[in-house]
Structure 1
C-alpha cells in the first residue's frame, strides 16, 4: 500500500504530455468538431473513435448508446416534461443529452446530435435547476444543478459545429445563471455555514409528490454536506462550468470567483479521504466522489489553472477499491456493501460502471493494476473510461493468494483472491460517516460464488419508511445486548453520521489464518452505559476455509444476554436459512454455510425476520444465536464453515475443558484444525494447531 510519501513521489510523474494545458489559440479556432476541447482535442478524438468502434472493452458502451430509445425520449420531450420536476425530469434530460452528444462525437450521427440539442433546449426552459433554496428564495445547487451544468458544458463542447455559436453562447449564459451561481451558493454555504440564512426544499418542486416522507431537517446541512460526496458534485460542476463559461466569454470577476470557490472546495477533500486513499462513505459513493474530483483535477490542469494531482493518494485509492471488491457468481462486480453501498440488482442501474476511476489512475499514474481492475472488476466501461483509456498500456493482475487489507478507516477485509469462488470476510469497524448504518463489528462472508453472511442491501434513506430499521444494528450481522443496539441517529436530518465508533485493537497474519479484534464499546455505551466492554474477534482460516467468531460482552452491574445475528442473502429469492443442532444452515444455489455455536451460558437459535413489511422482511431472513443465562461476562463462540453445494459439511466439536478454556475442533475435507480459546479478560486469547 503506498504511503503518502510514496504517493507524492509518484505524483510528480503523474501527468503525461497529452494532459498538459493546451494553447488557447488552438482551443478557440472555428470549424471544429469540438467547440471547447474541455477534456480531449481532435487528435485524441480520432483515437477515441477507433477504440469506441473496434475495442472489445467498449462493446457494452457501444450497445448502450446505440440502443438508446430515441422515440421514447422524443415523446417525453414533446408531451411529458414537467418544468418543476427536478428529481426525475431535469436529471433525465441532462443524462440523455450527454449520452447522445457523446454518441455523436464518436459516430457523427446527426440524429443523435439533434436529440441531444433538443434535450438541452428543453432543459433551458426550467426556471430553476435544483429544488433546494437558501433563505427561501435563492436556488442552491447540489446534484440537479450540478448535472445540468455538466450537460450544458459537455454538449456545448461535444456537439461542436452542429450547434451555431449564438445558441451555444445562450446555453452557456443560462448555465452560468441557473447552474454555476447555485453551485457557488451551496459551496459558499458549506464554507461559511454561519452566514447561511437557512436551507430548505422548494415547495413548488414536485419532489414531495415523489417522496412525501422525505421532509428532513436541513438546518444542519451546510455542516453535514461539507464532509460528503454532495460537496464534490457542485465543486466539480462549478469548475467545469467556469472553464466552459470562460472559454466562451473570457475571464471575468464572475469566473474568477467561481474558480476560487471551486478550487477551495476541491482542496478540502485532502482531509476527507484517508491518508491511504480510503473514503468513508463506501465504494459506491467513493466512486461518485472520486470521478467528480478527477474531472475537476483534469480540466484545471489541462487549462493551466491548478495542479491538484497530489491532492489525494490515488494509488492508495486503488488499493481501497481492490480491498472492497467481492465478486460473486451472479455479479462479478459486487462490492463489500457497508452502509448504503451496493450494486443495484435490476435494469441499467444494475450494470455497475466503476471503471472510469481506475482507468484515470492507470493513465495518470502509470499503474497497470488499475487497468486490470477497470477491465475485470469495475463493471461496464462508460464514456469516461473511454476518454481516459490508454491503449498502449497492458493490464497487470494483482497478487494472488490470501491477503489481509486493513484501511486507515479501520475497515478490514480478508480474502483468498478476486474470483467468485474465493473467500472474503469483511468487518465494519471504525468511526461514523455519512451513508453509514449502525453496523459496528458487523461481518460479511462470501465464498464459492455466494453471499453467505450478508449485509442488508441499501435500506431506505427516509426515516418515515417502515423498513428504516434495517439501517439499525438489528438489521445487521452484528451483536445486540438484551436486544438493544449500539447508537444511531433518528434519521431526521437524512443519512448523516452517527456518534458510533469502534476500532481494530489487534490483528495478525499467521500460517493458514488471519485474525483481528474490534472493540465497539463506545458505540454500545451510548445506548447502554452499563456496558464495560464489547469486542468481536474474527479468525479467518483461509485454507480450510472457515471463520471463528468470538463475541465477548462485559457489563458493570446488570447481567445480560447477548444475541448475534447472521443474515442470509435472499434478494433473488434463492436463499434460505434454517436452524440446526447448536447452530444454523444457510443455503444458496452454489454454496451453503454451516454454523455451530457454544457458550458457557447456553445457546438458543432462532430463524427470524425483521418486523418490517413482509416484502422486505422476506428478502432478509436471519439466524439469531443467543446466550440463555444472563451474565456480567457473556462469551459466545460461533464457527462458520462454507461448503460448495453438495459437498460434505465437515464436523465441528466445541467443548469446555475447564472454566476459562474452550476447545474447538474442526474437520473438513481431510483437514483437521484445533483452536484452543481462553475466555479471559475483555479480549479472548486463542491458539491454532493443525
Structure 2
C-alpha cells in the first residue's frame, strides 16, 4: 500500500513541462519518462535520491535536486535549486583567492569549474520554473562568473594564459568542458553561446591528440591504446568532465560532437587497471591514485554516450557491487540495467606502450593474480617510479605502491613521489632525480616486448633514461612461468657502490622465513626469494655471512596518511660493485599451498634458474655475454648443449621432452643440429 501511495503521489505531481524548445542537459523528457516507468516497480534507488534531495546541503545535491524536480515537479525542489543559484551568483567571483593572486591571475581553475557545473545544472533543471527576467539574470551571472573567465584563460587567443603543454591534463578537461556545460545551459539567453560550444567541442580534439613536447619534457596525455598517464584516479576525473560535456552536447544539439576514436578504448583501460575479487573492486594505483578508487562515473558516462562494450558493462557491474551508483541522480537516470558479462572479454596481458604501463594477469576470475608494471613518464601526478611493480594475489593487494598524500604536505615531495617510495632498485640510495617531480624527466622509462603465451608471460622495462645520473644500465625483466614470477635486474653504474632492492608491502605482513620473505594478508601470501647476486642468510647471525644479501626494514609512510609511519623492506647487495644482476623469485603458492622447486644455476658466462612445477621443468638461462659487455662481437654461448646468442632463454620440458622455447633478444637457438630459431636479427619470441 505504501508503494502504491508513493506512485500515485509521484504521477499526481506529474512534473512540470519545460519551456518549448528547451532540452535538458541531462534529464531529458525521454530520460524522465523512462525513469517514471522504472520506479513504479523499483523504488529503492529513487528513495535514496529523494533522501539526498531532501537533505540540508543543497549545493552538494544539485544533481539529485534537479532529477527529483524534473520527475515530480514539486515546487519545494525548484525553490531549493533557485536558492543554490542565488547563493552561487551572489559570490563576486568563483575562483579561489590563491589562484587569483598569481601573476598573471588565474581566473579559472577547479573551483570555478565546479561552481559553473552546479549553477548550470540547477539553472537548466528549473528553467521552466524561472520567469524571463530571472532566466536572463542567472544566465548572465553564469556567463560572467563561469564561462567567460574559463574561455579567457584556456581557449581565447587574445587572452589565453594556458597551453596544452603547461596544463593540458585533468585541469584542462575540467576548466574547459565545464565552461562548455555552462554555455549549453545558457544557450537560449546568450547569443554567443553556440559559438563557444562549438569552439570547445573542436578544442577537445587537440586535447585528445596532444603528443607532448621535447623542449620541456611534457608527456603525451593519452596513450594511443586508451590509457591516461597521470593515474587511474585522474583519468577518471578528467574523463568524467569531458563526458559530461559530451552527453549534454548530444542531448541539446541532438547529435554527438566530433568523433573521438580513443573513447572506444578508454573503458578497456579502466578495466585493465582493475582487480576483481570477492570484495570491492581494487585498482592499479600508480601515481596519485588509490587502490580503493572505485569511481563509477566515467564508466556510466561512456555507456550513456553510446560507448557500449562488454568491458564497460562488466566494469560498471563490478563497481556497482560496492558503490551503489544507481542510488545517485546520474546513476539512476542513466542506469539501463544492462546485462553484464562474467568477464570483460579483454586480453590477460596488456601493454600501454606510450605511457609505460603493463598489466599481466593469470585470468579475469575473482582473486586471480595481477602483476602491474610501470616504466614511463614522471611529472605532475606520475611519480618517480620507473621499473616499479605491484602485485595482487588471492584477493589481496600484497606487493604495493608507496602511495600518495595531498600535495600540500611536505612528505608528498620528500617521500611519496620519490623513488624510495616504490619497488625499484637504488644505487647508493638514489635512482631518479628529485627534480623530476617539477621538471619532468628528459628521457622517460619504457616497457617493451610484452608476450603472453598462457602460463608464460614476459615484459621488460628500461629505466636507464630516468636514472641516468646514477645508472648506465637499469633494465628489469619480468618472466612469469606458472606460479613463479622472476624479476631480473640488469644493472651497471659509473662507479662502485651499493645496490639496494626495495619491496613495499603496505599493510600486509612481511617476515623472513629461511631464505624467503613471506608477505601475507588475510588468507593470501606470497614468497619473495632473492637468488642472485646472493641469497638471504638462512639462519644464524648475518655478520657470520658477509657474502649474503642484507635485509632490513626502512621507515616510510602509510598511503594517504602521512601521520602514520609504515615500514618497507630493503635488500642490499653484500659488496660494492659497478655491475650486478639481481634475480628474485616471487612464488605464488597453489590452492594446496604447494610450492614449486626452484634451484639456482651457474655456469661459464651464465646464471640461471631451474623451476619444477608438477611434471614440467623450465630452465632459465641468462647469457652474461649479452648484457652489453660485447658490442662488436656476437654473444655466442652454450648451455647444456644449447647454442644461442640470446640474452634470455627458457627451455620448458615435460617428462624430459622439450615442448616450449622462450627466447628474449636472440637470433638463433639450436641443439644437436636441430634448429629451433633462426633469425638474422635478434627477436623476442615463444616457440612453437
TM-score norm. by structure 1 comes to 0.76
Q: 1:263 is paired with a residue of what secondary structure?
A: helix
What is the match of residue 81 of structure 1? none
Q: Does 1:640 align with 2:640?
A: no
Report the alpha carbon displacement of residue 358 of structure 1 after superposing the two structures with TM. Answer: 4.9
Contact 2:28 2:251 in 1 (8 A): no
What is the match of residue 19 of structure 1? none
Q: Distance in 2 between matches of 1:401 and 1:31?
A: 43
From 539, 553, 558, give the equivalent of 2:491. Answer: 553
From 579, 592, 595, give the equivalent of 2:512. Answer: 579
From 127, 152, 171, give the equivalent of 2:92. Answer: 127
What is the match of residue 86 of structure 1? none
Give matches, 1:27-426, under 5 Å. 36-51=23-38, 54=41, 62=46, 64-68=48-52, 72-73=56-57, 94-108=59-73, 110-131=75-96, 132-133=99-100, 140-188=107-155, 196=161, 225-247=166-188, 249-252=189-192, 255=193, 258-259=196-197, 261-271=199-209, 272-304=221-253, 307-332=256-281, 334-343=282-291, 352-358=294-300, 360-361=302-303, 364-377=306-319, 379-381=323-325, 382-390=328-336, 394-398=339-343, 403-408=348-353, 409-426=355-372
- CA deviation map 1:602-656 (0-9, x unaligned): 54243423355997486643222222122222101111123479x5362553323
Contact 1:361 1:370 in 2 (8 A): yes
- CA deviation map 1:252-282 (0-9, x unaligned): 3xx3563354234322122132322221122
Report the alpha carbon displacement of residue 138 of structure 1 after superposing the two structures with TM. Answer: 5.8
What is the match of residue 502 of structure 1? 445
What is the match of residue 374 of structure 2? 428
Q: How many residues align?
A: 588
Q: Distance in 1 between matches of 2:492 and 2:570?
A: 20
Q: Distance in 2 between matches of 1:521 and 1:630?
A: 20
Q: Distance in 2 between matches of 1:234 and 1:224?
A: 15
Contact 1:579 1:605 in 2 (8 A): no
Contact 1:661 1:676 in 2 (8 A): no
Q: Does 1:518 align with 2:461?
A: yes
From 564, 588, 595, give the equivalent of 1:650. Answer: 595
**Aligned-pair RMSD on alpha carbons?**
3.4
Q: Distance in 1 between matches of 2:106 and 2:356?
A: 38
Q: Distance in 2 between matches of 1:471 and 1:335?
A: 19
Q: Distance in 2 between matches of 1:412 and 1:619?
A: 29
What is the match of residue 591 of structure 1? 524
- CA deviation map 1:174-227 (0-9, x unaligned): 1111111121122138x689x64xxxxxxxxxxxxxxxxxxxxxxxx7565532
Report the alpha carbon displacement of residue 299 of structure 1 after superposing the two structures with TM. Answer: 3.2
Report the alpha carbon displacement of residue 470 of structure 1 after superposing the two structures with TM. Answer: 1.7
Change (3 A) 1:481 1:224: same
Contact 1:567 1:620 in 2 (8 A): no
From 478, 498, 501, give the equivalent of 1:538. Answer: 478
Q: 1:522 is paired with a residue of what secondary structure?
A: coil
Contact 1:508 1:516 in 2 (8 A): yes
Q: Distance in 2 between matches of 1:397 and 1:638?
A: 35
- CA deviation map 1:224-245 (0-9, x unaligned): 5532010011211111211222
Change (3 A) 1:42 1:312: same
Report the alpha carbon displacement of residue 97 of structure 1 after superposing the two structures with TM. Answer: 2.5
Contact 2:478 2:486 in 1 (8 A): yes
- Judge which range, 128-137 or 229-238, deviates more: 128-137
> Larger Cα Rg: Structure 1 or Structure 2?
2
Query: 4+ runs of 1 displaced by more than 6 Å?
Result: none
Contact 1:456 1:475 in 2 (8 A): yes
TM-score norm. by structure 2 comes to 0.77
Q: Distance in 1 between matches of 2:343 and 2:366?
A: 15
Q: 1:105 is paired with a residue of what secondary structure?
A: helix
Change (3 A) 1:363 1:308: closer
Contact 2:113 2:175 in 1 (8 A): yes
What is the match of residue 400 of structure 2? 454
Q: 2:467 is paired with a residue of what secondary structure?
A: helix
- CA deviation map 1:399-458 (0-9, x unaligned): 669721112323111112334411100101223353111111100110100011111233
Structure with greater strand percent: 2
What is the match of residue 568 of structure 2? 622
